[in-house]
Amino acid sequence: MQEINSLVSRRVLVLGAAGGAAFAFTPFAFAQQKFVNVLTGGQSGVYYPMGVALSQIWGKALPDAKVTVQSTKASAENLNLLQAGRGEIAFTLGDALSDGWKGDKEAGFAAPLTKLRAVAGIYSNYIQIVASVDSGIKTLADLKGKRISVGAPKSGTELNARAVLKAAGLAYSDFGKVEYLPFGESVELMKNRQLDVTLQSAGLGVASIRDLSSSVPIVIVPIPAEVVAKVGDAAYQPATIPANTYTGQAADVPTIAIKNFLVSHEGVSNDAVYAMTKSMFDNLATLVAAHNAAKGIKLETATSGTAVPFHPGAVKFYREAGVMK
């Protein structure tokens, strides 16, 4: 697997041609930003394919920088890597971003991540609790005693799982078995009847659940509005998974949505972040082609939903665009 990831990373390395540059920056500004490592998530999620699409856009916007994509355990790992200077821009869930900024040890942050700087609020993740029909699970109460995967340890998904299950009156000790696995591995175990249910926090139409629904009959477990309210975090909002999002899903299903963010750190040059922010919004059609979840990226909502300060490069773009004072 390590060799495969290495090969993938080499394949998504983008060296933009000078003729593709859409911005007029000084050579000195480019010299400041020679590398852009995009921190994403597991390859079966949404962060990774969207990160690959962004790397291609940013390779043209920053023609003198090497733009690479790194598959990670997502939110918490990404934020810690940014703080350590081991990446330039990353995907994260909004609640993990808040926890990292505050330094919540229970969420995987040893100290406040004071170097973080927001770049853009993007699409929302939907908490999708998916069970096999054979498991007999139809409601949150039916989860008790079942075998569940809650995502990689201290990933954004796993932090979401803790919050939602607690609001539903459930603890990990209530399950017959708890696995901490990425999306793809969770799905494989469900196909092999080694798990009953997987909780995945991702954009609608995530590849892992599409794969599962095309292989075995599934049930998407509803999360009622009263459970959403009990979470007690403004980042968690009532939402709906529309009918026919997945094979066999005939009706709308109530759930929870949490906003995702692109985040950088204070050491990344203002010009580079300006170029990345502008080029992303100039090329939203490319992102939608990479994943349908990108339809949720809107300029008018990009600057709300977090107390983390925005990077000066992003602020420059948003002021020019008229969405930030």
Please tell me if the domain spanning 2-123+260-321 has the same topology as the one spanning 125-258.
Answer: yes
Q: Out of 3.40.1190.20, 3.50.7.10, 3.40.190.10, 3.30.1360.170, which CATH number does the structure's domain 125-258 have?
A: 3.40.190.10
Q: What is the pLDDT of residue 31?
A: 39
Cα angle vertex 127, ends 197, 107, to 5°? 95
Q: Could you give the CA distance from residue 209 to residue 189 in angstroms, rounded to a whole number?
A: 13
| Phi-psi category of residue 3: left, alpha or beta, with phi > 0 → left and psi -120 to 50 → alpha | alpha
Q: What are the structure tokens assigned to 142, written together?
A: 């039916």
| CA neighbor of 71 nearest in space, from 159, 160, 11, 149 | 11
Q: What is the pLDDT of residue 6?
A: 42
Is residue 282 within 8 A of residue 324, CB to CB? The reply is no
Q: What is the pLDDT of residue 111?
A: 98
Q: What is the pLDDT of residue 1?
A: 42
- 66 exposure class (CB count in 10 Å sphere: 0-12, 13-18, 19+): middle
Phi, psi at 9, each rounded to 5°: -60, -40
Query: Rg (Cα) of the chain, in Å, rounded?
Result: 20
Sequence spans of domains, the chain: 2-123+260-321, 125-258
- The CATH number assigned to the domain with range 2-123+260-321 reads 3.40.190.10
The percent of the chain in helix, strand and coil, each rounded to the nearest 5, is 40, 20, 35
Positive or negative, the Cα torsion across 157, 162, 165, 171? positive
Q: What is the pLDDT of residue 22?
A: 38
Which is it for strands 177-179 and 147-149: parallel, antiparallel or unpaired?
Answer: parallel
**Residue 125 bridge partners (DSSP):** 258
pTM of the predicted model over 0.85:
no
- Tens of each residue's pLDDT in the chain, 325 residues: 433 344 434 334 433 333 333 333 333 344 368 999 999 998 888 999 999 999 999 999 999 999 999 999 999 999 999 999 999 999 999 999 999 999 999 899 999 999 999 999 999 999 999 999 999 999 999 999 999 999 988 788 999 999 999 999 999 999 999 999 999 999 999 999 999 999 999 989 999 999 999 999 999 999 999 999 999 888 899 999 999 999 999 999 999 999 999 999 999 999 999 999 999 999 999 999 999 899 999 999 999 999 999 999 999 999 999 999 9
- 57 exposure class (CB count in 10 Å sphere: 0-12, 13-18, 19+): buried
DSSP string, 225-276: HHHHHHH--TT-EEEEE-TTSSTT--S-EEEEEEEEEEEEETTS-HHHHHHH
For the chain, strand residue ranges (E) read 14-15, 35-39, 66-70, 89-93, 116-132, 147-149, 177-179, 197-202, 218-220, 237-241, 253-265
- 8 exposure class (CB count in 10 Å sphere: 0-12, 13-18, 19+): middle
Is residue 246 within 8 A of residue 210, CB to CB? The reply is yes
